[in-house]
Chains A and B, each alone.
Chain A
Amino acid sequence: MTSATLPAATAATAAKPSVLRPGRILLYVVLTVGAILMITPFVWMLLTAFKSNLEIAKFSWLPSELRWRNFVEAMQTAPFLTYFRNSLFIAVGETLFTLAVCTTAGYALAKLPLRGGKALLNYFIVLLLVPFQIILVPLFLIVKSIPLFGGNNILGQGGIGWLNSWWGLIIPLGAAPLFTFLARQFYVSLPDQLAQAARVDGLGEFGIFWRIMTPLIKPALITIAVFQIEAAWNGFLWPLMITTSDDMRPLQLGLAIFSQNPAEIQWPYLMAGTALATLPMIVLFVFAQKRFVEGMANVGIKG
Chain B
Amino acid sequence: MSTTLERPAVATPRKVAPSKDSRALVRGQARAGWALLTPALLHSGVFIVIPVIAVLVLSLTDYSFGDTWAWVGFGNYADLFRDVDFLASLWHTVLYAIVVIPISMAISLAVAIGLNQKIRGLGFFRTAYYIPTVTATVAVATIWLWIYNPGSGLANGFLSLFGFAPNRWLADPATALPSLMVVGIWQGLGTKIIIYLAALQGVSRDLIESAQLDGAGRWQRFANVTWPAIGPVQFFVLITSIVGTFQVFDLVYVMTQGGPGSETRVLVMDIYQNAFQDLKLGYASAETVIMMIVIAAFIAVGRLLQKADAND
Task: Please provide the chain B residues from 1 to 58 with a CB less than 8 Å away from any CB of chain A in the complex.
Answer: 1, 3-5, 7-8, 10-12, 14-15, 25-26, 28-37, 39-41, 43-44, 46-52, 54-55, 58
Task: Please provide the chain A residues from 23 to 51 with a CB less than 8 Å away from any CB of chain B in the complex.
Answer: 24, 27-28, 30-31, 34-42, 44-45, 48
Q: How far is the CA of A87 from the CA of B290 in the complex (A)?
A: 33
CB neighbours (8 Å) of B58 from chain A are 137-138
Do residues A57 and B47 form an inter-chain contact, with CB atoms below 8 A? no
Do residues A274 and B198 form an inter-chain contact, with CB atoms below 8 A? no
Nearest CB in chain A: distance from B152 CB, A: 5
Do residues A205 and B254 form an inter-chain contact, with CB atoms below 8 A? no
Do residues A139 and B11 form an inter-chain contact, with CB atoms below 8 A? no
Do residues A44 and B151 form an inter-chain contact, with CB atoms below 8 A? no
Closest to B39 in A: A101
CB-CB contacts of B100-139 with A at 8 A, as 1s and 0s?
0000000000010011011100011111111110111111
A185: CB under 8 A from chain B?
A: no
Do residues B36 and A211 form an inter-chain contact, with CB atoms below 8 A? no
Do residues A191 and B152 form an inter-chain contact, with CB atoms below 8 A? no
Q: How far is the CA of A100 from the CA of B281 in the complex (A)?
A: 33
Nearest CB in chain B: distance from A124 CB, A: 7
CB-CB contacts of A128-157 with B at 8 A, as 1s and 0s?
001111111111111000000000000000
A203: CB under 8 A from chain B?
A: yes
A225: CB under 8 A from chain B?
A: no
Do residues A57 and B151 form an inter-chain contact, with CB atoms below 8 A? yes
Do residues A175 and B129 form an inter-chain contact, with CB atoms below 8 A? no
Closest to A258 in B: B142
Nearest CB in chain B: distance from A250 CB, A: 10
Decide yes or no: A193 and B127 within 8 Å by CB, A135-B55, A138-B285, A255-B139 being known contacts: no
Decide yes or no: A142 and B51 within 8 Å by CB, A35-B125, A112-B33, A134-B288 being known contacts: yes
Q: How far is the CA of A198 from the CA of B8 in the complex (A)?
A: 9
Q: How far is the CA of A243 from the CA of B140 in the complex (A)?
A: 22
CB-CB contacts of A106-126 with B at 8 A, as 1s and 0s?
011100111100001001100
For A, the interface residue count at a CB cutoff of 8 angstroms equals 109
B249: CB under 8 A from chain A?
A: yes
A271: CB under 8 A from chain B?
A: yes
Q: How far is the CA of A122 from the CA of B40 in the complex (A)?
A: 14
Of A3-11, A68-76, A277-285, the one with at least 4 CB within 8 A of chain B: A277-285
Nearest CB in chain A: distance from B214 CB, A: 22
Looking at chain A's contact residues, is the secondary structure mostly helix, strand, loop, or mixed? helix
Of B74-82, B188-196, B304-312, the one with at least 4 CB within 8 A of chain A: B188-196
For B, the interface residue count at a CB cutoff of 8 angstroms equals 108
Q: Tell me the total A-B contact number using a CB cutoff of 8 A.
A: 309
Q: How far is the CA of A48 from the CA of B147 in the complex (A)?
A: 11
Nearest CB in chain A: distance from B147 CB, A: 6
Closest to B284 in A: A137
CB neighbours (8 Å) of A256 from chain B are 138, 142, 250, 253-254
A13: CB under 8 A from chain B?
A: no
CB neighbours (8 Å) of B254 from chain A are 255-256, 259
Task: Please provide the chain B residues from 271 to 287 with a CB less than 8 Å away from any CB of chain A in the complex.
Answer: 271-272, 275-276, 281, 284-285
Task: Please provide the chain B residues from 180 to 236 with a CB less than 8 Å away from any CB of chain A in the complex.
Answer: 186, 189, 191, 194-195, 197-199, 202, 233, 236
Q: How far is the CA of A34 from the CA of B125 in the complex (A)?
A: 9
A67: CB under 8 A from chain B?
A: no
Do residues B40 and A215 form an inter-chain contact, with CB atoms below 8 A? no
CB neighbours (8 Å) of B10 from chain A are 197, 200
CB neighbours (8 Å) of A20 from chain B are none
A56: CB under 8 A from chain B?
A: yes
Do residues A133 and B194 form an inter-chain contact, with CB atoms below 8 A? no
Do residues B119 and A105 form an inter-chain contact, with CB atoms below 8 A? no
Q: Of A132, A230, A237, A298, which is in contact with the most chain B CB atoms at under 10 Å from its CB?
A: A237
A188: CB under 8 A from chain B?
A: no
Do residues A38 and B129 form an inter-chain contact, with CB atoms below 8 A? yes
Decide yes or no: A58 and B36 within 8 Å by CB, A31-B111, A259-B142 being known contacts: no
Nearest CB in chain A: distance from B88 CB, A: 18
Nearest CB in chain A: distance from B282 CB, A: 9
Do residues B4 and A104 form an inter-chain contact, with CB atoms below 8 A? no
B292: CB under 8 A from chain A?
A: yes
Do residues A45 and B11 form an inter-chain contact, with CB atoms below 8 A? no
Do residues A285 and B130 form an inter-chain contact, with CB atoms below 8 A? yes
Do residues A300 and B4 form an inter-chain contact, with CB atoms below 8 A? no
Do residues A270 and B142 form an inter-chain contact, with CB atoms below 8 A? yes
Closest to A44 in B: B154
Do residues B36 and A59 form an inter-chain contact, with CB atoms below 8 A? no
Do residues B7 and A201 form an inter-chain contact, with CB atoms below 8 A? yes
A66: CB under 8 A from chain B?
A: no
Do residues B146 and A215 form an inter-chain contact, with CB atoms below 8 A? no
CB neighbours (8 Å) of B87 from chain A are none
A-B contact pairs, 12 of them (CB 8 A): A16-B118, A31-B114, A171-B43, A172-B47, A197-B5, A204-B32, A252-B138, A277-B138, A282-B131, A296-B191, A300-B195, A301-B199
Interface contacts beyond A124-B44, A136-B272, A201-B7: sample of 16 additional A-B pairs, CB < 8 Å, sorted by A: A16-B118, A44-B147, A45-B143, A107-B36, A133-B247, A137-B271, A142-B50, A142-B51, A191-B8, A197-B7, A201-B3, A205-B33, A234-B136, A236-B137, A271-B143, A285-B134
The 9 closest A-B pairs by CB, nearest first: A112-B33, A297-B198, A59-B157, A105-B40, A205-B32, A138-B54, A300-B195, A234-B136, A135-B51
